[in-house]
Homo-oligomer: A and B are copies of this chain.
Amino acid sequence: MILAEDILQAHLRIKPFIHRTPILTSERINDQTGCQLFFKCENFQKVGAFKARGAMNAALQIDRENLQNGVATHSSGNHAAALARAASIVGTDAFIVMPKTAPTIKKKAVLGYGGKIFECEPTLAAREEMLNEVVKRTKATQIHPFNNDHVITGQATVAKELLEDVPKLDSILAPVGGGGLLSGTLLTAHYFSPGTKVFAGEPEGADDTYRSLKSGKIEASQANTIADGLLTSLGDKTFPIIQQYVNEVMLVNDAEIIQAMRTIWETMKIIIEPSCAVPFAALIKHKEKFAGQRVGIILSGGNVDLEKVLKLFVS
């Protein structure tokens, strides 16, 4: 069980290695939505996403003996770069299993931090099989992208900073994929700002969290959305936290995600990735629910293949 003290300790531990990201506001968007929005810009975070926090927190807690064997994970995206960076900071190897289909920009990022990539077929089975092989050979410490207490605790520091800089938020919105960021956000709100409600935005084409809450067990994701950071299902560490604390999971379709992303690009002049636009899309869709409120929105990341995204806008 993750305690308030764990989140405080994690924040102290990772602070020297991460950005305290800015919080941006936009009068125009406030006018459009009828609430007061505070965007926590993790797209400006190291490696371009909040994942820098969880990976750093996990890597800093490996003991000396295990550390020399390296760290390993499978990830199609930002956690891969985050773990490669964390490994380079603590001075060890990062073995990263990535699906062949992962975006070029994300592969480049891993290589840029000195990570070693192992490509596999883009299925969960293939990823796990190759990761097991790598770990067996190297004895590296596995650091799961989200189903890991140290990772969840690291991601919890996003909402901690948000609530320090903007106290008394009525609501916080975060995206949900595997649930690392969402469960961290839920724990932070629970411990440090119990009056703040936490909502999740989820793509209709990967609405496993929505369905899991209905059925009471972890459902598989259909992984059919442009929000390519939110394709995974929940894990046994994230699901119970979400089940206990989340206020509501709000679904949005890809057209709504693209429109929300475009609004942020054009109005706020910042680059966010499709997954990152999901909570804002959910807020727009349900704005009557947040009318007059002070709402924090976690912008999770800004790593995009520009050609791909610009084509979304044109088509």
Interface residues of A (CB under 8 A from B): 22, 24, 43-44, 48, 105, 262, 265-266, 268-272, 302, 306-307, 309-311, 313-314
Contacts and interface: CB of A to CB of B under 8 A. Distances in A.
Given A22-B22, A262-B306, A269 B311 contact: no
Nearest to A105: B266
Contacts of A43: 269
Contacts of A22: 22
A314 B265 CA distance: 18
Nearest to A304: B266
A308 to B, nearest CB: 10
Nearest to A301: B269
A44 B269 contact: yes
Number of this chain's copies in the complex? 2
Nearest to A44: B269
Contacts of A272: 269
A306 B313 contact: yes
A99 to B, nearest CB: 22
A259 to B, nearest CB: 12
A124 B302 CA distance: 40
B269 A302 contact: yes
A268 B24 CA distance: 15
Contact of A307 (B44, B307, B313): B313
A272 B314 CA distance: 19
B306 A266 contact: yes
Counting chain B CB atoms within 10 Å of each CB, the highest count among A43, A268, A310, A313 belongs to: A310
B302 A307 contact: no
The 3 A-B residue pairs whose C-beta atoms are closest, nearest first, are: A310-B310, A269-B302, A269-B271
A190 to B, nearest CB: 30
Given A306-B313, A306-B314, 6 more contacts: A24-B44, A269-B270, A271-B271, A307-B310, A310-B310, A310-B313
A265 B271 contact: yes
A249 B111 CA distance: 37
23 contacts: A22-B22, A24-B44, A43-B269, A44-B268, A44-B269, A262-B306, A265-B271, A265-B306, A266-B271, A266-B306, A269-B271, A269-B302, A270-B270, A271-B271, A306-B310, A306-B313, A306-B314, A307-B310, A307-B313, A307-B314, A309-B310, A310-B310, A310-B314
